[in-house]
Structure 1
C-alpha cells in the first residue's frame, strides 16, 4: 500500500537533509505551476467522527447511498466491493465497537489502523518509524494524555498488534506531527490519514505547493514556479492568521519558529500585516494601518499618516482595544449558536461585523472570520443578495492573503458564481467571468481531471450556453 519516495517522486525532486530544517523535498529541475509532484495512497486513513455516516470508509467517496456494517452499525460503505476490500482492517475494529458499545474517537481509530497495517505487513512500518516524533519536545501533560489514549487502543485491537508502552507514545507523537486532514474538493475536512512521503514536505507561509485529495489519494501540486534546487513547501497552518499567531501555533504543535520570507517580511515595522491591521479612516482608501496594540505599551493615543492617501490617522488606543474585545465576544456567542439558531447567531455576527468593519482592514483575520460566518448563515437562510456581497468581499481579501493560484481563491470565486446564478436577475456575463477565473486557478491547484475542476468546467459550459442564447 505504501511506496517509497524514490518510486513515486519522479526525476523532478529529491530528498535532502538540511541542518536548520531537517529533511525536505527539493527540485532537481524547474517545476511549473500545475505540475503533479507526488500522488500517494495513505499508510492508514479513517473517516472523521462527524462524517462516518456520509462518507464511505472504503473508498472515501462522499455522497450517494451508503449502507452501514450490520454488526457495528458505525462504519458505512458505498458498495459490497468497498466492504470486502476493507474487511482486512474493519473485522478487528468492528468487534471492538460492538464490545465497547461506543465508537472510539478519530485518532484512536487511526492508530488502530496503523497498527493493523503493521501486523499485516511488518516491514512497511519502517515508513512510520522514520517519521519525526519530537517526543522530547512534548509537554508532560500531552504525554500523559497519549498514555491514557494508549489504554483505549489496547481495548480495541488484539495483543498481537500492540507495541510496547514507550513505542505507543512515540507513535502518538508521530501521528500528531505528521497526520494530514483529508479534504474534499472544496477543502473541507472529512477524514485523517498518515502519508509518510508527503510528511517530508516542510512548511512555509508562502507555499509553492498545495496538498489536494481525491477521495483518500493525496496529491501534491505546484502552484508557483519552482526553480532547480529550490525547496518544495506547503502550509501547516491557516495562512489567514496574523504572523505572530501563525508562529505561535507552529511552535506549539510542530516545535519550530517559522522564519520564512513572509514572516521575515512582516517583522519589519515598515511592512504592515493586513491580517492584524486596522483600516484607514478615509473610507475610500483600502490601505492597511498598523494597529496600536503593536506599539509601545502605555500609549493612550495613536497618530500616524496613511501612506496611500496621506490622511492623518488618530486612534484612541483604549477605545480600539475595547471595541475589538467586544466584537470578539459577540463573534464567540454567534459561533456557539450556529448549530442551534441561525437567526440569533446572525444577530451576534452582524453586531460583531458592524464594529469590525468600521475599524479593521478588509483582510484582518477577525473581520474575515466574521464575514465568512455571515456568508455561511446567509447562504443557509437563502438570502442570496447579502450572501453575494460578503462573498465578493471575501474574494478581495483572499486576493491580498493568498497567491493568485491558491485553491481557496478559486473555490470562493466558484461559490460567488453559484450565488450569482441563484439570484432573481442573473448577471450571466459576471457568472462566466467568475467561473473562468475559478477554473483557471483550479486547473493549477487541483488539476484538469479532478472531479471538482470538472464540475466547475461543466458549470462554465452551461453558463456559456446561456450567454450564447441571450446573444442570439
Structure 2
C-alpha cells in the first residue's frame, strides 16, 4: 500500500464507510495506491479471450485439461489459479451444461474457499478486513432479501457437494450483502465487463459525484489514480456509480444500492443538472409536469430495455431504442442524458449486429455531450472515443480515426497510467496507421 494514504476514523454519515485521507500531495495522473484482489472471477463470456488467473488478453491461451472451460496463459498461471479453480472445475465436470451459477454466487464461493485456505490477513487487507465490510442488513427491503435468498439457494445447489461445512444462512446473508455493497466490476479499455472482484482497501474510499481519483485495473490489481490535485489531509473520493445522470437520479441509485444519501458538492450545487436535462428549443417551453412525466417514461423504458436484452432479438431491441428516442425527442434535446442513454444502448445493438454505420451515427451524437456531462478524465468518455476511433478506421476514415484514438489515449494515460498495456495497444493502433 502506498505510504501516501491512511485510514481515518469512521464517518458519522450512515453507510459512508471509513474513508481514506492523503498524507502527502498527489498530482493528477499519479498513482495513489494499488490493491490486489482478495478474490475474483472472470466472467464466463470472456473465458476464451482472457486468462482465468491474470486476466491477460491473449490469442494463444490453453484450456484446463479437466473442465475444458478455463483458459490460461501458461502452466504458471494455471498452477497459481488451481487452488480457486479446482472448486469450479469439479463442479462444472459434475453438472456439465447444468452448471450456471451467477457471477456473484461464484465470487462468494471463492471467498468462502479462500477464507478456509488462507485464514491469515491478505495483502489486499492492509487497512480493512473483508469481514469488516458494511452489510447494511437492517436497511434491506423485501426485494433484496429475496435476491439474497435466491443467491444462497444457488450457492447450496451448485457448491454444497464441493464445499464442506458451508456457513449458515445468516452468515451467508451477511456475506452476500457485503459483496453486493462492496464488490467491483473489472472492465477493459472499452468498459466491457471482464469479471467481478473484492478489493478491501479500495472499498474503504467514500463516494463523491465529483471524485478526485479513478479506479482502473491492471489484470486483477486495482489501481487508484488522482484525476486532480490532492493535498495532504484531503479525503480521497471515488465514484460508486455512473455519473451521467442528474442529481436526484444519482441520489436514488446511491440510496438503493449503498444505503446513503449523497451530500457531496455536486449534489449540493446541482451545477450540471440543467445541461443534463436540456430540453428542445421550442416556441413554447414544455411545462414542468410534462418534463417530469417524460423522465418517468424514460426510467421505465430504461428498465424495460434492461430486461428485454435477455429475451428479445437485436432488431427488436433496436426498435425499442428508436421508438423511445422518437418519443423523448419531442421534449428532450439530443444532449439530454436520457436520450444519450438510449443512444448508447442503440449503439451497442448496432455493434452487435455489425451495423458499423449505425453505430458510428449514434457514437458521434454521444461523444461531445459525454465530455460535458462526465468529470474530467472519465473512462466513459475515453471508451467512447476509442470505439469511435476503431469504427472510423474500420470504415476507412483514417484521419477521423487517428484523431479519436489520440483523444482516447490522452484520457487513458491519466486514468490508467502511461505504462498500462491498454495504452500501449491503442498507441500501436495509431502507429500502424502512419
Any conservation in 2 of the 1:275–1:363 contact (CA below 8 Å)?
Answer: yes
1:142 and 2:144 are equivalent in the alignment: yes
Shift of 1:148: 5.0
- Classify 1:175/1:387 alpha carbon distance in 2 versus 1 (closer, same or farther; 3 Å): closer
Any conservation in 1 of the 2:391–2:401 contact (CA below 8 Å)?
Answer: no
The 5 Å alignment of 1:97-136 reads: 97-101=92-96, 102-124=99-121, 127-136=129-138
Instruction: Name which of structure 1's ranges 330-339 and 120-129 shifts more when overlaid on structure 2.
Output: 330-339
- Classify 1:207/1:279 alpha carbon distance in 2 versus 1 (closer, same or farther; 3 Å): farther
Shift of 1:199: 0.6
**Which of 7, 12, 29 is the equivalent residue of 1:34?**
29
The 5 Å alignment of 1:67-466 reads: 67-101=62-96, 102-124=99-121, 127-140=129-142, 142-143=144-145, 145-147=147-149, 149-154=151-156, 156=159, 160=164, 162-266=166-270, 272-281=273-282, 313-315=284-286, 332=304, 336=308, 341-380=313-352, 383-424=355-396, 426=397, 428=399, 430-463=400-433, 465=434
Any conservation in 2 of the 1:209–1:221 contact (CA below 8 Å)?
Answer: yes
Measured on the aligned residues, the alpha-carbon RMSD in Å equals: 3.0
Any conservation in 2 of the 1:45–1:191 contact (CA below 8 Å)?
Answer: yes
Any conservation in 2 of the 1:64–1:78 contact (CA below 8 Å)?
Answer: no
**Which of 1, 10, 14 is the equivalent residue of 2:6?**
14
Q: How far apart, CA to CA, are the structure 2 residues paired with 1:446 and 1:344?
A: 37
Q: How far apart, CA to CA, are the structure 2 residues paired with 1:258 and 1:47?
A: 31
Shift of 1:69: 3.4
Instruction: Name which of structure 1's ranges 142-151 and 405-414 shifts more when overlaid on structure 2.
Output: 142-151
Q: How far apart, CA to CA, are the structure 2 residues paired with 1:48 and 1:260?
A: 33
1:45 and 2:45 are equivalent in the alignment: no
- Classify 1:160/1:432 alpha carbon distance in 2 versus 1 (closer, same or farther; 3 Å): closer
Shift of 1:423: 3.3
Any conservation in 2 of the 1:209–1:220 contact (CA below 8 Å)?
Answer: yes
Instruction: Name which of structure 1's ranges 391-400 and 49-58 shifts more when overlaid on structure 2.
Output: 49-58
How many matched pairs? 421
1:155-179 CA distance string (max 9 Å, x none): 5155656334432222122111111
Structure 2 partner of 1:25: 20
Shift of 1:323: 6.6
Any conservation in 2 of the 1:38–1:221 contact (CA below 8 Å)?
Answer: yes
- Classify 1:410/1:113 alpha carbon distance in 2 versus 1 (closer, same or farther; 3 Å): same
Q: How far apart, CA to CA, are the structure 1 residues paired with 2:171 and 2:121?
A: 16
Any conservation in 1 of the 2:187–2:195 contact (CA below 8 Å)?
Answer: yes
Look up the SS of the partner of 2:334 in the other structure: coil
- TM-score, normalization by structure 2: 0.86
Shift of 1:117: 1.0
Shift of 1:70: 4.0
Shift of 1:343: 4.1
1:239-260 CA distance string (max 9 Å, x none): 1122212111111121100111
Instruction: Name which of structure 1's ranges 401-410 and 322-331 shifts more when overlaid on structure 2.
Output: 322-331
- Classify 1:175/1:383 alpha carbon distance in 2 versus 1 (closer, same or farther; 3 Å): closer
Look up the SS of the partner of 2:120 in the other structure: helix
Shift of 1:87: 1.6
- Regions of 4+ moved over 6 Å: 321-331
Q: Which is greater in Rg?
A: 1
Any conservation in 1 of the 2:246–2:273 contact (CA below 8 Å)?
Answer: no
Unaligned runs of 5+ in 2: none
Look up the SS of the partner of 2:224 in the other structure: strand
- Classify 1:53/1:434 alpha carbon distance in 2 versus 1 (closer, same or farther; 3 Å): closer
- Classify 1:337/1:188 alpha carbon distance in 2 versus 1 (closer, same or farther; 3 Å): closer
Q: How far apart, CA to CA, are the structure 2 residues paired with 1:260 and 1:80?
A: 48
Structure 2 partner of 1:286: none
